Amino acid sequence: MNAPEKFFLPDVQSSADHRALAIQQVGVRGLRYPMAVRDLDGGVQHTVARLEMTVGLPAEVKGTHMSRFVELLEAERDALDLDGLRGLFADMLVRLEAESGRIEARFPWFMKKAAPVSGVESLLDIDARVVVEKTAGGEIRSTLEAVVPVTSLCPCSKKISAYGAHNQRSHITLSATLRGDLGLRELVRMAEEEASCEVFGLLKRPDEKWVTERAYDNPKFVEDLVRDIALRLRADARVASWRVQSENFESIHNHSAYALVEGENAPE
């Protein structure tokens, strides 16, 4: 046996498959990896992403090359904005010799906020998700999602009570499939501006007074929250389709109030 024959390792996954079944998504899931994220304002934030990277596999191919997904990440060292993630996606299709695929990145993203009266600054954590995908039909889609904590105050409680009104913390999930550039901060601010009141990581007593009165003056049902945000997304030319969900963690019930509205914007 000569040296080349001795060290030859067969590539089983590249062999032919005879079951005549294409696979829509195959790859890696639950991969945690450090990522530098750049928003539209140019700021860079270092975080840890949970990644899912998949490609479509033709019926005649036995398997994909799993190691190549991680190799792509190892080669990527620049901060990623949405365009950078699209570039990584394009590289993945070439490297995996695929016609379709999908990259999903979930990560905590922190937004610096100033308290409304004292001006003290603190960080608010947001659960973010970015998806870039190419369907078998050839369409490339980019989706941006954020889970935004806010305060909602019940209009009914305010109307029927002699004093006070019950309020709760709500999680608003905004998901926008894009046809233009939309930043995470902009998406988060849509939810905060339409809520009874936004929330902060740090408040002094004058700030606490302000947010309490702000919520009382701006009551919203769960239905109001999703409708008001949906109107903004529907009017945004950068958005192709959208989904808004709100879960209100009720303070007077042992269950949540929930609403969802979704739609598509007319082509430009």
**pLDDT values of the chain reduced to their tens digit, one per residue, 268 residues:** 555 655 677 777 777 888 899 999 999 999 999 999 988 777 889 999 999 999 999 999 999 999 999 999 988 777 888 888 999 999 999 999 999 999 999 999 999 999 999 999 999 999 999 999 997 678 899 999 999 999 999 999 999 999 989 999 999 999 999 998 899 999 999 999 999 999 999 999 999 999 999 999 999 999 999 999 999 999 999 999 999 999 999 999 999 999 999 999 988 7
Q: What is the pLDDT of residue 6?
A: 59
Q: Given this model, what pLDDT does residue 79 score?
A: 81
What pLDDT is recorded for position 4? 60
- Say what the pLDDT of residue 78 is: 78
Closest among 155, 149, 150 to 221, alpha carbons compared: 155
Structurally, the chain folds into a number of domains equal to 1
Output the pLDDT for position 23. 93
pTM of the predicted protein model? 0.90
Contacts of 42 (CB under 8 A, 6+ apart): none
Q: Is residue 61 part of a domain?
A: yes
Residue 8 lies in a domain: no
Look up the CATH number of the domain holding residue 154. 3.10.270.10
Cα separation, 146 vs 191, whole angstroms: 9
Angstrom distance (rounded) from CA 25 to CA 101:
7
**190, exposed or middle or buried, with CB in 10 Å at 0-12, 13-18, 19+?**
buried
Residues 52/33, Cβ–Cβ less than 8 Å:
no
Measured CA to CA, the distance from residue 136 to residue 20 in angstroms comes to: 17
Q: Which domain holds residue 226?
A: 23-264
Per-residue pLDDT at 139: 85
How many angstroms separate the CA atoms of 195 and 220, rounded? 7
| Position 198 in a domain | yes
Q: Is residue 58 part of a domain?
A: yes
User: How many Å apart are CA 145 and CA 256, to the nearest integer?
Assistant: 21
> Helices in the chain by DSSP H: which ranges?
3-6, 67-75, 82-95, 155-160, 184-194, 205-216, 222-234
Query: What is the b/e burial string over 97-114, where b = at least 16 CB atoms within 10 angstroms of the residue's CB?
Result: ebebbbbbbbbebebebe
Q: Is residue 12 part of a domain?
A: no
Give the up-direction half-sphere exposure of residue 44: CA atoms within 13 A in the CB hemisphere.
9
Task: Using DSSP, state whether 218 is helix, strand or coil.
Answer: coil
Q: Is 15 a domain residue?
A: no
- H helical segments located in 33-153: 67-75, 82-95
- Residue at 97 is within a domain: yes
Give a yes or no: residue 238 inside a domain.
yes
At 3 the pLDDT is 57
